[in-house]
Amino acid sequence: MIPYRLMLVVFVIAAALYVGVGRTAFTVPANLEEAEACGFTGADFAPSGRIEMPATQAWWTSFVRKQEYWNAFSAGLAAAFAAFALTAMRRLGAAVAGGAAVGGGLLALVALCIGCLAPVLSLAGLGFAVSLLAGIPKWLLAVNTLVLTGWATMFMARRLAACPVACVPAAAH
């Protein structure tokens, strides 16, 4: 009942998209304040007063130090679950599946709030969420996402198992 292949593909695409957008949006910090926000310290600055790393190396350094891999994992999980929920919409009804999909979307948003897009979200008025989530370790958010999406997936799978496609019209009789 659980479309594992679809979820795996969506997971990989979403996680890769998160990483790709992060790399595309990344620019090597020009001053200490920006650098600290990206996980760099004063020691990373070359004597010229700049971070003299190739952009990709600087991004990877920031990615690892900021533990962005947890966010990529969370975003992938949330997107995979949302995809599952959307495919189940016809059988479970728009309310249940739509709610589940929105829940998945919210989990993905949480990943973005604590990730490299946090500054953009702050500008978009989500600064409160960003600061609220800042106190939670990224690994815990990833574990929470895993367990929440796992729970929701099991719940929906059970509902689907109890309600085969063909029975919906029968229930109307």
Residues near other proteins (CB under 8 A) are 31-33, 42-43, 45-50, 132-137, 140-141, 143-144, 147-148, 150-151, 154-155, 158, 162-164, 166-167, 170-171, 173
What whole-number distance in Å separates Cα of residue 168 and Cα of residue 96?
A: 15
Contact call for residues 55 and 62 (beta carbons, < 8 A): no
Q: How far is the CB of 99 from other proteins (least distance, A)?
A: 15
Q: Which is nearer to other proteins, 24 or 48 (CB)?
A: 48
CA 136 to chain centre: 15
Q: Which is nearer to other proteins, 86 or 143 (CB)?
A: 143
Q: How far is the CB of 57 from other proteins (least distance, A)?
A: 18
Residue 66 CA neighbour count, 13 Å, CB half: 26
Q: What angle do CA 86, 89, 95 make, to 5 degrees?
A: 110
Nearest partner of 85 among 16, 2, 162, 15, judged by Cα: 2
Q: Which is nearer to other proteins, 13 or 163 (CB)?
A: 163
Q: Which is nearer to other proteins, 19 or 82 (CB)?
A: 82
Contact call for residues 8 and 168 (beta carbons, < 8 A): no
Q: How far is the CB of 52 from other proteins (least distance, A)?
A: 11
| Residue labelled with tokens 């947890």 | 70
Q: Which is nearer to other proteins, 19 or 141 (CB)?
A: 141
What whole-number distance in Å separates Cα of residue 95 and Cα of residue 170?
A: 20
Q: How far is the CB of 15 from other proteins (least distance, A)?
A: 21
Q: How far is the CB of 24 from other proteins (least distance, A)?
A: 26
